[in-house]
Structure 1
Amino acid sequence: MALVLLLVLVITEIGFAVFELTKSTTKKDWTKRQLGVIGAEILIYLLMLVLPGIDFSFRFKGFVILLAIRIIFAFISFLINRKNEKIKKKVFIVLGKLFTCFFIIGSLAPAFIFKDYNGRPLMGSYEVAESESILIDHSRTESFETDGSYREVPVHFYYPENAEVIKEHSLPLVIFSHGAFGYYQSNTSTYMELASHGYVVVSLDHPYHSFFTKDSDGKTITVNPEFIQDAMRIQNGGSEETEEEIYEITSKWIELRIADMNFVIDTLEDTVSTNNMNETWFVNDDSKNSISNIIKLIDIQKIGLMGHSLGGATAVTVGRREDVSAVIDLDGTMLGEEIGVKDGNPIINEEPYITPLLSVDHEAHHQERIEAEKTGYNYVNNIILKNATEGYSTYFKGSEHMNFTDLPLFSPTLAGLLGVGDIDAGKCIDQVNSLVVDFYDSFLKDSGEFEVQESY
């Protein structure tokens, strides 16, 4: 429907321009008719709100702002020129309408890039609520800043509604880490599904690794450009660095993320134990009660970690903690388990992995693991799963890296640029979410034996 709206608006503008070009138009008449055309376009948009795909969401925010600016300036122009009998030059009519069409197309671009996505149907019995806070780590200064400020980690909670009627300290905690230049909402359907089954889920942002987030001053923090360049270069195989140099780069990434996740776990455990939100917590006044109720729900004896891509690598290494009961890696190379490089080959942490671990790969990643096994290459995922006391692995046929997030459903265009397969995106993420719930039910709720197919 966004395309229909765009075509109607462009045709309206072109038709108006053609009409004006066929006659000599005074500036007085031009501004009056221009005001009427913009008013008609506003009416068209409002009438089309009844149709699917047209709404007041962020997808149309730029367009609404453009309409508001245009109607204001058109009205001001009308007042200024209401007695102006000079002829409007045709070249200005043409240029004006060309620029108008350009701005209309640009303002509607988000409606084409992003879909009208409202999440996946929930299979659990609980309705889901959300809240958020920022945790301030007073033991670390922000390495991406020069002002001596502390590292801040935004945390976003997904949990069963009516938390006050649920037994205290009865719900397992799952903490999620997003991928490189992802952000906390990358797997919202997964968080929602878990929360609907009686879990408290915390999705954390890694500032400067996250596409965007906000700090305690309300400032928007965008992804660090150098981090993007390094990540894209290394991921696409265009890096000229040696294995040792690549390790130096990636180990810094994972070190930062591991510190963030450890900090979140430690803070939540301390807050649950003491029932006190200290100066570490930055919470808006309207969120304090909900955060307090969430804290009372958490059973810190039942902690699960998970993440996508670089976030999965983070979860795996932090998952060696004794207080973590289950870990899921969604298509991540377990970089935190690489402890060095020797003669151009990675040195892998050979200690047994005793935390139950589920690894989910896209099809090409699975084939890479098989090839590494055949050639004897020390691929970290193979070694960690081999040394795992309870290690499970599966892959999805026809999938690519971004199929394990909500992005293909939210923005097929962006997902296509980052890697999406021909598998049905909705069915894929639903199956992933079902596996996630089954895995955590088994190891965090002691609910039956976990089983997984070789592939889906």
Structure 2
Amino acid sequence: MAWIILIITAVIEIAFAVYCMVTKSNHQNLRNWLRVGVFTVFIIAVLVSVIKWSFRWYLLAALLLVLAVIGGISLIIKRKDGKPYKPAVIILKGAAVCIITAFTLVPALIFPQYREPKITGTYKVDTAVYTYVDKARTETFSNTGENRKVNVEFWYPEGTTGTCPLVVFSHGAFGVKSSNTSTYMELASNGYVVCSIDHPYHSFFTSATDGTVTTVNPAYLQQIIDVNSDVYDDETAFKLEQDWMNVRTGDMNFVLDTILNNAKNSSAEEVYKLIDTKHIGLMGHSLGGAASAQIGRERKDIAAVVNLDGDLLGEYEGFKNGKIVFNDQPYPLPILTIYSDTMTQAMDRVKQKGILDAGTNLAATAPYAFTVSIKGTNHMSLTDLPLFSPLLTNMICSSVHIGGGKEADKYYVIETMNRVVLDFFNCYLKDSGAFNDEGSY
């Protein structure tokens, strides 16, 4: 949509400049009518949802409003073309309008308008946000001595009777809690309560209920980049990864305990009353997937885990004689891992070095371990980012070789992933049918 608007702007300005030069007149009144008309068309497009109103269009709307007001005032006072006709001025004005319009369209170009993935459930979905304060932990990313605060958002079904399974989600290395909103919507519309966690200082940015915004910690961000770039030796990387995991698992345990305590409270808010505390699943992307798998191994109240493209760092127990030592105890829960080409390539590199990867070790020790791979994907394909910002996705994953040489349709990827996740949780959290989706897509 942003490119269409930019092209239309250029066509209008070129056509107007040509008309002025042919007629050798400034046609100021016509320009004023165009300003008012363009703003009117924009408003109509918003009202009929051709343009879906959001932050993407704020700058453009402000520009069109200013130009429309100037044009309207000029028409009201019947200002005449007082300046002599100069072709260079006409061309410069047209170029300036195009440049300024392009600037106002930057948000829409980076975050283009997109259609929502298909939602198959029958329930309408409501949301709720909370900030939990962990009085047992001091925030280690700051020196204020305050307790750690964790921001969460719930997606839950409206109008359901009885209780619903709970799924708790943890985002990727520097993601945000809304990273997989389409998945939350799919689950909630099918009768699940989904809680997604923002991990402060790990999240790219997070906002507390009091409006306080916390951005990603620069040192942590650099560690992520350096580990992924093989700057450190394996043992140093392992120690850093365990530090990250401690933050994640600490947050997840705290959030789970808080939710379960609230669910026991008869005066708790609506979302907590909907939760079936006997059927809990965990899910996460990348580092969040690794943390989910570790919590699933450690807690007795988790029924199933979904790992989206995460290296299962919780399965690494340490180093001995320069080699990774894996947890060889059977994994106690059903666990589904969905891999992109990114993780498949990473595992291949590990195997080429003669090193066992955590996923292979887990599959050997888990009674119900399932693997799904989706071809033509990169690491961020298993989030909503390719919909929200294809540009940022390409910047983050530009070095990744897409399997088969062709990128899969982003809607196909997300809708396939959401269907597989729903089938898995239906099987192991709702005891509904068997899970038969394992394999490649």
Q: TM-score, normalised by structure 1?
A: 0.82
Structure 1 residue 400 and structure 2 residue 372: aligned? Answer: no
CA–CA separation in structure 1 for the residues paired with 2:213 and 2:85: 44
CA RMSD of aligned residues (A): 3.3
CA–CA separation in structure 1 for the residues paired with 2:332 and 2:361: 13
Task: Using the TM superposition, give the Cα deviation of residue 86 of structure 1 relative to its aligned residue in structure 2, in angstroms.
Answer: 8.2
Question: What is the aligned counterpart of 1:150 among 139, 147, 150?
Answer: 147
Task: Give yes or no for contact 2:130–2:209 (8 Å, CA) kept in 1.
Answer: no
Task: Give yes or no for contact 2:2–2:112 (8 Å, CA) kept in 1.
Answer: no
CA–CA separation in structure 2 for the residues paired with 1:119 and 1:216: 26
Question: What is the aligned counterpart of 2:261 among 254, 259, 270?
Answer: 270
Match of 2:52? 55
CA–CA separation in structure 2 for the residues paired with 1:230 and 1:183: 18
Assess, with a 3 A threshold, how the Cα gap between structure 1 residues 171 and 9 changes in structure 2: closer, same or farther. Answer: same
Task: Give yes or no for contact 1:128–1:160 (8 Å, CA) kept in 2.
Answer: yes
CA–CA separation in structure 2 for the residues paired with 1:59 and 1:427: 25
* Number of matched pairs: 432
CA–CA separation in structure 2 for the residues paired with 1:91 and 1:426: 47
CA–CA separation in structure 1 for the residues paired with 2:421 and 2:222: 32
Match of 1:242? 233
Match of 1:444? 429
Match of 1:171? 164
Match of 1:102? 99
Match of 2:326? 348
CA–CA separation in structure 1 for the residues paired with 2:70 and 2:217: 38
Match of 1:332? 310
CA–CA separation in structure 2 for the residues paired with 1:231 and 1:75: 54
Task: Using the TM superposition, give the Cα deviation of residue 115 of structure 1 relative to its aligned residue in structure 2, in angstroms.
Answer: 3.7
| Worse overlay, 32-41 or 171-180 | 32-41
Task: Give yes or no for contact 2:127–2:153 (8 Å, CA) kept in 1.
Answer: yes
Listed one character per residue, the Cα deviations across residues 40-81 of structure 1 (whole Å, up to 9, x for unaligned) are 33134235447875332332122112333455677899999x
| Worse overlay, 446-455 or 354-363 | 446-455
Structure 2 counterparts to residues 359-370 of structure 1, below 5 A: 359-369=337-347
Structure 1 residue 307 and structure 2 residue 284: aligned? Answer: yes
Match of 1:286? none
Match of 1:3? 3
Task: Give yes or no for contact 2:342–2:379 (8 Å, CA) kept in 1.
Answer: no
Match of 2:410? 425
Q: Letter of the aligned partner of 2:369 in structure 1?
A: G
Gaps of 5+ in 1: 278-291
Task: Give yes or no for contact 1:243–1:341 (8 Å, CA) kept in 2.
Answer: no
Q: Letter of the aligned partner of 1:393 in structure 2?
A: T
Q: Letter of the aligned partner of 1:296 in structure 2?
A: K
Match of 1:455? 440
Structure 1 residue 191 and structure 2 residue 184: aligned? Answer: yes
Match of 1:280? none
CA–CA separation in structure 2 for the residues paired with 1:160 and 1:93: 57
Structure 1 residue 226 and structure 2 residue 219: aligned? Answer: yes
CA–CA separation in structure 1 for the residues paired with 2:83 and 2:346: 72
Match of 1:213? 206
Listed one character per residue, the Cα deviations across residues 98-149 of structure 1 (whole Å, up to 9, x for unaligned) are 4443221021123333343342222223222222222122222333333333
Assess, with a 3 A threshold, how the Cα gap between structure 1 residues 182 and 108 changes in structure 2: closer, same or farther. Answer: same
Assess, with a 3 A threshold, how the Cα gap between structure 1 residues 136 and 454 changes in structure 2: closer, same or farther. Answer: same
CA–CA separation in structure 2 for the residues paired with 1:71 and 1:97: 16
CA–CA separation in structure 1 for the residues paired with 2:394 and 2:93: 35
What is the SS of the residue equivalent to 1:306? strand
Q: Letter of the aligned partner of 1:395 in structure 2?
A: S
Structure 1 residue 139 and structure 2 residue 129: aligned? Answer: no
Match of 1:282? none
CA–CA separation in structure 1 for the residues paired with 2:80 and 2:437: 78
Task: Using the TM superposition, give the Cα deviation of residue 453 of structure 1 relative to its aligned residue in structure 2, in angstroms.
Answer: 2.7
What is the SS of the residue equivalent to 2:272? helix
CA–CA separation in structure 1 for the residues paired with 2:212 and 2:286: 27
Listed one character per residue, the Cα deviations across residues 413-442 of structure 1 (whole Å, up to 9, x for unaligned) are 322333385122222222221221221122
CA–CA separation in structure 1 for the residues paired with 2:32 and 2:133: 51
Task: Give yes or no for contact 2:36–2:67 (8 Å, CA) kept in 1.
Answer: no
